[in-house]
């Protein structure tokens, strides 16, 4: 048997994937030149023709927009998120060059009413409290995700290597103001 553990690079890969979903448009450490650059970095490891399912609903590609682009547009409209990986496991399937990865995470969303670009839908706002731009995190959601990932993740986790993404909330906190 080989001495290398092929599962070792999976954890940083998953954390990078979640970090891309959680990225802020403008933060002290990172900012994007425009909205497009920001949106297209969400889950950029996903292939354009990836099978994407979110809470049991598939994303259907159209001739104009592939599944990844649709996912990115929708994700852009979610409030700011914060994922925390809590467990993962994976199997390298012999003869296929792919890993099946299953992971669990906790995720919380910003409940301040602003979207990812920092805009609020309130026309009249009371700014007397000061312009805090810190997110107001809600309670944790439970999340279970299944991925099919190319084996090449071992050497390079940057390319388009995810061929299916199945994102499923397993628990929604009762006090969330998000409508799922």
Partner 1 sequence: TFPFESTQPMFFQDDNIQNIATNFITNYLKLWDSNRADLMILYQNESQFSMQLDSAHPHLIEASSTTGTDFGYYLHNSRNLTRVSSIKARQAKLATGQEQIYKSFTQLPKTHHDLINKPEMYSMESFTYAPLNGIMIIIHGSFEETAQPDNLDSLNSSSNSGPRGRYGGGPSKKKVPLSKKSFDRTFLVIPGPNGSMIVASDILTIRPFSSTTPWNKPVQA
Residues that bind partner 1 (CB under 8 A): 1, 3, 5, 7-8, 10-11, 51, 53-58, 74, 77-78, 85-91, 93-98, 100, 102, 104, 106, 139-142, 144, 146, 148, 163-164, 166, 168-174, 178-180
DSSP 157: -
Contact 109, 138 (CB under 8 A): yes
Residues 6+ apart with CB under 8 A from 49: 61, 66, 67
- In the complex, minimum distance from the CB of residue 63 to partner 1, in angstroms, rounded to a whole number: 20
Long-range contacts of 111-115 (CB under 8 A, 24+ apart): 111/79, 111/136, 111/137, 111/138, 111/176, 111/177, 111/178, 112/79, 112/136, 114/79, 114/80, 115/76, 115/77, 115/78, 115/79
- In the complex, minimum distance from the CB of residue 45 to partner 1, in angstroms, rounded to a whole number: 18
31 or 97: whose CB is closer to partner 1? 97
- In the complex, minimum distance from the CB of residue 60 to partner 1, in angstroms, rounded to a whole number: 10
- In the complex, minimum distance from the CB of residue 152 to partner 1, in angstroms, rounded to a whole number: 14
4 or 29: whose CB is closer to partner 1? 4
DSSP letters, 72-134, are HHHHHTSPPEEEEEEEEEEEEETTTTEEEEEEEEEEEEB-SSB-TTS-BS-SS--GGG-----
41 or 102: whose CB is closer to partner 1? 102
131 or 174: whose CB is closer to partner 1? 174
133 or 178: whose CB is closer to partner 1? 178
- In the complex, minimum distance from the CB of residue 128 to partner 1, in angstroms, rounded to a whole number: 27
């Amino acid at each position: 048997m080989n001495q290398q553990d092929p599962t070792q690079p999976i954890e940083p890969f998953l954390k990078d994937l979640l970090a891309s979903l959680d990225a802020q448009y403008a933060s002290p450490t990172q900012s994007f030149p425009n909205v497009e650059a920001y949106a297209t970095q969400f889950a950029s490891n996903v292939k354009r023709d990836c099978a994407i399912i979110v809470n049991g609903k598939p994303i259907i590609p159209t001739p104009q927009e592939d599944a990844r682009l649709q996912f990115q547009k929708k994700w852009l409209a979610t409030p700011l998120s914060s994922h925390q990986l809590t467990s993962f496991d994976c199997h390298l399937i012999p003869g296929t060059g792919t890993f099946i990865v299953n992971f669990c995470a906790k995720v919380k969303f910003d409940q301040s009413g602003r979207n990812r670009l920092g805009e609020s839908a309130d026309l009249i706002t009371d700014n007397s409290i000061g312009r805090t731009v810190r997110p107001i995190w809600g309670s944790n959601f439970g999340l279970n995700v299944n991925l099919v990932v190319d084996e090449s993740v071992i050497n390079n986790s940057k390319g388009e290597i995810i061929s299916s993404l199945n994102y499923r909330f397993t628990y929604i906190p009762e006090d969330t103001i998000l409508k799922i």
